[in-house]
Amino acid sequence: MKTRRIGPFEVAALGLGCMNLSHAYGTPPEPAAAEALLLQALDAGITLFDTAALYGFGANESLVGRVLQAHRSRIVLCSKGGMTGQPVGAGGALQRVIDGRPASIQRDCEDSLRRLGTEVIDVYYLHRWDKSVPIEDSVGAMARLVEQGKVRALGLSEVGAATLKRAQAVHPIAALQTEYSLWTRNPEIAVLQACADSGTAFVAFSPVGRGFLCGAPLDAAAFAPKDIRRAMPRFEPAHAAANAALLPALAGLAAQAGCTPAQLALAWLLARGEHVIPIPGTTQAAHLQENLGALALTVPPAVMAALDALFAPGRISGARYNAQNEAEVDTERFAA
């Protein structure tokens, strides 16, 4: 298994994003199937497992903790706070809340530790920067978690290069996580290089474009009612049709490389720098094995160049988030 570095840890070059075992893309798998997938990933050599307090409002952390607690010494366990499910209103129903105040970060971490069944989280991320709180204050609270022995290394999610620099002035940032794939290349504006310059691992989530880069056109009308892609502009009919027009060429390039479109998308990401660690998620063992096949690929330079041109930022139709979610992140954006 090829490996890469994240803070003080050496991990397999592909991690596992655990989100969709509990959250985001419609009805999650049955518990037994989710548990089996986690153990299959472990047996296949994956060592980095990425979860968050938000996913299933704690259910994903409980799942990961229940299944992997017995194998704790074999894995690098990553979770996130600062965006959680909190009771809101008279009914007390849980709603997604971004809260980066120091006391909230302390609370979130302690809640995560309990659900994960562990005494320490290896990499703990600020899931979203709460822009009402200086990043220095939030990272300062996270640094205190390191001092308390509850966290080993710190990470940030969905921030740009300038915010990373401010955070690093408070405490070393081992990892920065944001969306990065052939159809989401915003990190190339600044933060990807900023991570390389500072020795920060760049953890790429949604590396196969939320399923788009697997090669088959996606019909948003067929998505489950609670599938988060329903609110993403790229999956609206007009944008989806424009983007689907790129898929035949992607399939042709994958055929040239002797792999599937998803494997080619992952191999392209792995080639963007030794500090890049993709974390594809899946609910299916076959897709897990397919993803791992990307590690063995050697993609011809001509195919890489053709991919760069095919998925140049200006060729992708639609924003990756709707207006509300775009306002909540701090990532750089290409000019419209």
Cβ partners under 8 Å of residue 46, min gap 6: 12, 14, 15, 16, 292
Rounded-to-10 torsion of CA 177, 71, 105, 124 = -30
Q: Say how far residue 221 (Cα) sits from the centre of its chain.
A: 25
Catalytic residue among 55, 125, 180, 321: 55
Alpha helices in the chain (DSSP H): 31-43, 59-68, 102-116, 135-147, 161-168, 191-198, 237-244, 247-257, 261-270, 285-292, 301-310, 323-328
DSSP 8-class letter at 210 = G
Residue 211 · residue 218 · CB < 8 Å: yes
Q: Is 55 a catalytic residue?
A: yes
Instruction: List the one residue out of 58, 21, 25 whose CA is nearest residue 39.
Output: 21
Residue 15 · residue 277 · CB < 8 Å: yes
Q: In degrees rounded to 5, what are phi and psi of residue 298?
A: -120, 105
Residue appearing with tokens 């979203």: 128
List residues with catalytic annotation: 55
